[in-house]
Amino acid sequence: MQDHIDAPFGLAGRVALVTGGAGGIGAGIAEVLAQAGATVAIADLDGEGASRQATSLVEAGYKAVAITIDLADEASIMQGCARIVADYGAPWALVNNAGLQDRELLLAGTSALWDRTFSVNTRAPFLMTREIARAMVEANKGGRILNIASAALIGSISTGHSAYAASKAALLGLARASAMELAEHGITVNTLLPGGVITPGAMGAKGPPAEGPARRRPPFGYSTPRDIGTAALFLVSPAAQMITNQVLAVDGGWSIT
């Protein structure tokens, strides 16, 4: 019998790799996973921001390290993942969080924004999953992969989000395919759909004014990065061993408006 209810959700002795953890939602996820006992590897293009975040977690008594990875660059992903595996062993959890949110109206859309968005939002989660799942399979201890998509997929979309929404919809296909191929290794793959979260990326996204359904206020208000982090903790916890290929919205009730 478990003697403590938090044991199934604890991550002590496990490594969790969070992309885009220098700020915004990724920082919230990194904080919650570190508080659950994980050694969190914060991977970000913004190396200084990742270091600042890792340092503040370490100063608070948690375990965290920073690594600079450009998710738009396959070589950078491969080198970064190899370094993490060499230094800390195979991660238990990978959270593919980093994403670009710039907008262009469909009729003015460019392939440049489409390609940039897909390289970070879709191609990088594929490459990260491949690299980290290889290490997980070799370590033979199972694992957790969590992709961060968006409530844009269930209705809270803004004008200008064709590239963004398409890049996030593709993550559902990636999750389904990777969940199937990784199941025999005890690795689960799930997807979170955050709703409105006030972050540097959401506030600073370039493009025309965001109109449309996403302007509605969620009944519970906007989420914090920690709200996404606590849902992430559940899905990457040992307790969630029977949950794979699932999609969970954390949107403050947006979907019922």
Ligand X SMILES: NC(=O)c1ccc[n+]([C@@H]2O[C@H](COP(=O)([O-])OP(=O)(O)OC[C@H]3O[C@@H](n4cnc5c(N)ncnc54)[C@H](O)[C@@H]3O)[C@@H](O)[C@H]2O)c1
Q: Tell me which residues touch ligand X (CB under 6 A).
A: 20, 22-26, 44-46, 49, 69-72, 97-99, 101, 120, 148, 150-151, 194, 196-197, 199-202
How many angstroms from the chain centroid is the CA of residue 140?
23
Instruction: Specify the residue, 29 or 136, whose C-beta has the smaller distance to ligand X.
Output: 29
Instruction: Specify the residue, 26 or 137, whose C-beta has the smaller distance to ligand X.
Output: 26
Angle at 200 between CA 198 and CA 202, to 5 degrees: 60
Would you give the DSSP letter of residue 161? B
Cα 71 from Cα 189, distance rounded (Å): 20
Q: How far is the CB of 16 from ligand X (least distance, A)?
A: 16
Of 62, 88, 164, 222, the active-site residue reads: 164
- Which residue's C-beta sits nearest to ligand X? 201
Distances (CA, A) of 238 to 12, 161, 235: 11, 35, 8
Q: How far is the CB of 88 from ligand X (least distance, A)?
A: 19
Instruction: Specify the residue, 29 or 135, whose C-beta has the smaller distance to ligand X.
Output: 29
- Is 222 catalytic? The answer is no
Cα 134 from Cα 33, distance rounded (Å): 22
SS3 state of residue 30 = helix
Q: How far is the CB of 240 from ligand X (least distance, A)?
A: 20
- Active site residue ranges: 164
